[in-house]
Structure 1
Amino acid sequence: MTATDTLRRGLRKASAAADTIDAKTPAHRDRAIDGLRALALLAVPTGHWLLGGFTLGPEGALHNASPLSAFGFLAPVSWILQMLGVFFLVGGYASALSYRRSRSRGESTGSWLRGRVARLGRPVLGVTAVWAALIPVLYAAGVPGTTLRTGSTLVIQPLWFVGVYTVITALTPVCLRAAERLGAWAAAPLLGSVAVVDLLRYGPWGDAMPSWLSLLNVLPGWMFAYQLGVCWSERKLGRRGAALLLGGGAVLFAALLLVFHYPASMVGVPGEVRTNSHPPSLLVLALASVQCGAAILLRDRLGRVLRRPALWAPVVVINLSAMTILCWHQTAMLTAAVPASLAGSVPGLVGAPDSFGWIAARLAWLPVFAVVLVVIGRWARGFESPWTKATGAVRAMAGLLAAGFAVFALGLA
């Protein structure tokens, strides 16, 4: 059999699998919502893989670095790849529907929330427990402690999102009541809260403000798009409101950049005093407003496009592996970078991200990271399913390992 025959056979199998997935999809399934979620999910690993580099210290250990330190003009790339606004929008939409359905079945709020938390918590517990078990093994094998701490920081970095998302999910009933009373304007106080905190910490009184003040933006900052999603689900936000979000968000975004001199990058840049993302600044909400408005306006068109089985099947696979992608994508990159660091500098993988050659090489590494993630995901996806066969002792051990990893990764030990 020639390579061409093999390729054709593979394509036929893929097409048949896509047709099967399409046929099994319920007619009432909102394909646009799943498509938006998949798009936002893929932006997470793509952003981390593109904007996360490594330098090699004199002791042969990996240290985090970012191409944005040398190429500030690439900051607009982060505007595209930072799609948490869309993710929280879709999360609010889906959670509102799920909560309404559970209540109609007679389930309690507590029962509904326990199910949601379990779905989020199992993969997080799995990845942190596995890493906790791997660290002493890797150290014994000769991997420098600094490399292990760098890797642990990267692994735990995206997991903050799960904690914030869990808290916001628990507030879904509150968001629903706010949507009923205020409509889409229920998101306005959240925007106003972040604006006030930004004014206090960046205004004339900024030097006198306590450092913890910025933490007040964490909940309203990320809840803004979630509330919009709840309003969208409740049909309190339509195309006219979406157009207002898109236009108003764009104007606010431009004003914050050009007049109030907010940092252009949506992610943290080493050496920069101010950051937009941790915690979210008003610029993050302006971008989320643009993204949410565009998503709502494009919903029908996206739904029609995803009627094609070849496009719909990848969306299904990505959504079924959502938490696996979130939890393990940094591990995929480290799986390539850590062994490479033992050999020295490797273009686009280990070495200062300060040249166009590095950018070109890193782009070439992206498919490798993706393949490694698929391989890891085939095994790790089991953590997303209920741990029905795990004994109480196994669950307790996983919890202890996860706690130990968190302490190590956060530099507390």
Structure 2
Amino acid sequence: MSTQQAGTSPANTARDARGTIAQRDLVVDLIRTACVVLVVVVHVTMVGVGSDASGLRVTSPLQELPWYVGATWVGQVMPLFFVVGGFASAVGWRSTVARAPTGGDPARDFVATRLVRLFRPAVPLFVVLAVGLGIATALGTPAELLDELAFGIGSPLWFLAAYGITQCCVPVMARLHARAPWRTLLVLLLLAAAVDAVRLASGIAEVGLLNLGPVWLFAQQLGFLWVDGWFARRSRALLLGVAAVAYALLVPLTSVGLWAPDMLQDLNPPMLPLAFLAVGQACLVQVVHAPLTRLMATRPAQAVVFLLGRDGMTIYLWHLPLFILLNGIGLLVGLPFPSPGSGPWWATRPVAVVVLLAVALGVARLVRRSDRPLPRLTPGSDRPGWPLVAVGAVCTIGPAFAVMQLHLSFPLALVGAVAIPVGVRLLTRTVPASVSTPGASATRLPGAGTV
């Protein structure tokens, strides 16, 4: 919590806080928090650790259930996360444009601010991973076991790369949205289909990485539409119809053998079905927006969302390393481990989720200093030029992208532990604001300047 400025009374502070809450769409906070918690739940139910006479066993009980594939059409929430991210990005972009200093470039300010906000929480994680994997390697841990653990620990880090890329594109995508929102969505959809077609025809899986742009930018653009009020102006019947069509199209798409019906398999690299899933999820959220708004008007709901949402990124980044650590501690102290997939094992999952969230919140408190947002520009200052911002973006996004493609290892963890702090440092720099040039204008979404 920030300290009060001189002349600000507690009453004024409380009034400002209430005003901030009143201006926000708290449903966005609710959805973002629910997505993080659901990711934790999925991973806790997907990783089953058991020990018997033959040794340690790691299985995936959730994936063995007959209804698992169908459940991924509901439980795969990453498209919705990018839709919500698009909403937040559009609001943040308009705010950045509105307060841009004379002669300043709001695009540089926005990109630097968003990347710092995204990657600062990752700094302590990469440092801990580098130290931990380095010690494990020095102690002679079997390479196969270490690779398996590192793969699981690093699997969520793809999100840093994907989301960082979309944040860098917001100023450009905002301009395209303002000029031709539907044409932009159509082009992104066609590009996603083209990338998948080339990947499937060539058999080169790496081609699919190009869809980190079209698929996630498509979902982000839906968030721009949300800010514009497009979904709110549609009738419930129309929204349900659009959602039904989007889900119906997934049936033939995933039945011809080109895309997997398991939406988690379609995640890395992202594939075309996720774009249709984003449409259906965005429409369904608007259908239940009114009851969710009433829910978020209650103090208990606000308390839970603010408690978990305040440290949502830290929880997301740390939950798998902590889950593996907690299981290891349990094995060392001799805790009884029910057979994965058994009735007692499923009965312990809610407890496992609560314990993991509590420990993750504790870690978030310890590393909260690294999670502070970048302060706003002061009068007469600006972000550094695009070359320095570009270097900062590469230093932050690069290690996460490498982990996504090559999987986590000690060398990559070490690179991230060095490069990401350097990138964050570069992006936090400020320079004197330049004098505005005639004819220069900032890119604005419709209604820019209002939050």
**2: CA distance between counterparts of 1:346 and 1:382?**
37
Q: Secondary structure at the match of 1:347?
A: coil
What whole-Å deviation, never above 9, does each CA across 1:138-193 have from its counterpart, x for those lacking one? 66789766554433322321111111111111111222222222234532222222
**1: CA distance between counterparts of 2:195 and 2:222?**
21
Give the conservation status (yes or no) of the 8 Å contact 1:155–1:331.
yes
Alpha-carbon offset, residue 48 of structure 1 = 1.5
What whole-Å deviation, never above 9, does each CA across 1:29-57 have from its counterpart, x for those lacking one? 22122112112222221222222334669
2:149 pairs with one of 140, 148, 151 = 151
**2: CA distance between counterparts of 1:77 and 1:58?**
34
**2: CA distance between counterparts of 1:318 and 1:327?**
13
Q: Secondary structure at the match of 1:409?
A: coil
Matches within 5 A, 1:14-413: 23=18, 25-54=20-49, 65-107=59-101, 108=105, 109-137=107-135, 146-202=144-200, 206=201, 208-240=202-234, 242-243=239-240, 245-258=242-255, 262-267=259-264, 275-342=265-332, 346-347=336-337, 353=340, 355=342, 358-385=345-372, 409-410=408-409
Q: Secondary structure at the match of 2:267?
A: coil
Q: Which runs of 5+ in 1 are unaligned?
A: 1-18, 268-274, 389-398
Compared CA separation, residues 138 and 229, structure 1 to 2 (3 A): same
Alpha-carbon offset, residue 89 of structure 1 = 0.9
* Greater displacement, 163-172 / 30-39: 30-39
**2: CA distance between counterparts of 1:87 and 1:25?**
22
Q: How many residues are aligned here?
A: 369
Give the conservation status (yes or no) of the 8 Å contact 1:33–1:299.
no
CA RMSD of aligned residues (A): 3.6
Give the conservation status (yes or no) of the 8 Å contact 2:322–2:360.
yes
Q: TM (normalized to structure 2)?
A: 0.71
Compared CA separation, residues 163 and 382, structure 1 to 2 (3 A): same
Compared CA separation, residues 180 and 237, structure 1 to 2 (3 A): farther
Q: TM (normalized to structure 1)?
A: 0.76
* Greater displacement, 33-42 / 337-346: 337-346
**2: CA distance between counterparts of 1:82 and 1:75?**
10
Aligned match of 2:391? none
Compared CA separation, residues 300 and 383, structure 1 to 2 (3 A): same
Q: Secondary structure at the match of 1:339?
A: helix
* Greater displacement, 376-385 / 114-123: 376-385
Q: Percent identity?
A: 26
Q: Which runs of 5+ in 2 are unaligned?
A: 1-13, 376-394, 413-451
Compared CA separation, residues 25 and 96, structure 1 to 2 (3 A): closer
Q: Secondary structure at the match of 2:70?
A: helix
Give the conservation status (yes or no) of the 8 Å contact 1:86–1:295.
no
Which is helix-richer, 1 or 2?
1
Q: Secondary structure at the match of 1:43?
A: helix
Amino acid at match of 1:31: L
Compared CA separation, residues 90 and 105, structure 1 to 2 (3 A): same
Q: Secondary structure at the match of 2:330?
A: helix
**1: CA distance between counterparts of 2:407 and 2:195?**
32
Alpha-carbon offset, residue 28 of structure 1 = 1.4
**1: CA distance between counterparts of 2:121 and 2:26?**
25
Give the conservation status (yes or no) of the 8 Å contact 2:130–2:410.
no
Give the conservation status (yes or no) of the 8 Å contact 2:40–2:353.
no
Aligned match of 1:15? none
Compared CA separation, residues 244 and 183, structure 1 to 2 (3 A): farther
Alpha-carbon offset, residue 374 of structure 1 = 2.5
Aligned match of 2:379? none
What whole-Å deviation, never above 9, does each CA across 1:94-132 have from its counterpart, x for those lacking one? 111111111111242102211111111111121111222
